[in-house]
């Protein structure tokens, strides 16, 4: 158990709908990362937050948005869902968010499996 929690574990919805995925980082970690992993594909970095502020953006679609709240939990919002959005969505957390030269290991939550029908 990494200490990172994600809810829900599974989500089934229809095209055109909107969903929200939730992540709570490990105790003491200030940074949260969101990743998408389609079937048999690599990890695609979506976005990173550090202490409530956006730190880095990857290949995140305009239909997707995220935020990190004062209690450091984060939510990923996916709207106008398409069949191709079906994937595993992972949240990871780390202490410093990659700042400075410190070793900053990312620890992953169990993921949310999203199925769009």
Partner 1 sequence: GQNIDQPTEMTATEGAIVQINCTYQTSGFNGLFWYQQHAGEAPTFLSYNVLDGLEEKGRFSSFLSRSKGYSYLLLKELQMKDSASYLCAVRDSNGDSNYQLIWGAGTKLIIKP
Please tell me whether residue 56 binds partner 1 under the rule CB under 8 A: yes
CA angle 7, 13, 52 (to 5 degrees): 40
When the beta carbons of 47 and 116 are compared against partner 1, the nearer one is: 47
When the beta carbons of 52 and 79 are compared against partner 1, the nearer one is: 52
> For residue 116, what are the β-bridge partners?
13
Please tell me whether residue 22 binds partner 1 under the rule CB under 8 A: no
Q: Binding mask 34-53 vs partner 1 (x if CB under 8 A, - otherwise)?
A: -------xxx-x--------
Q: Are 90 and 35 in contact (CB under 8 A)?
A: yes
Q: What burial letters (b/e) apply to 54-80, b meaning 16+ CB within 10 Å?
A: ebeeeebeeebebebeeebebbbebee
Least CB distance to partner 1 at residue 38 (A): 12
Q: Are 88 and 37 in contact (CB under 8 A)?
A: yes
Task: Tell me which stretch binds partner 1 (CB under 8 A): 9-17, 18-26, 64-72, 96-104.
Answer: 96-104
Please tell me whether residue 105 binds partner 1 under the rule CB under 8 A: yes
Please tell me whether residue 104 binds partner 1 under the rule CB under 8 A: yes
């Amino acid at each position: 158990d990494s200490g990172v929690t994600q809810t829900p574990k599974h989500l089934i919805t229809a095209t055109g709908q909107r969903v929200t995925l939730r992540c709570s980082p490990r105790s003491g970690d200030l940074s949260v990362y969101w990743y998408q992993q389609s079937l048999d594909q690599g990890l695609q970095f979506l976005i990173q937050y550090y202490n409530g502020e956006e730190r880095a953006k990857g290949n995140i679609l305009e239909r997707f948005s995220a935020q990190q709240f004062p209690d450091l939990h984060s939510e990923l919002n996916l709207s106008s869902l398409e069949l191709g959005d079906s994937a595993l969505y992972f949240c990871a957390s780390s202490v410093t968010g990659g700042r400075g030269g410190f070793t900053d290991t990312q620890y992953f939550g169990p993921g949310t499996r999203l199925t769009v029908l």
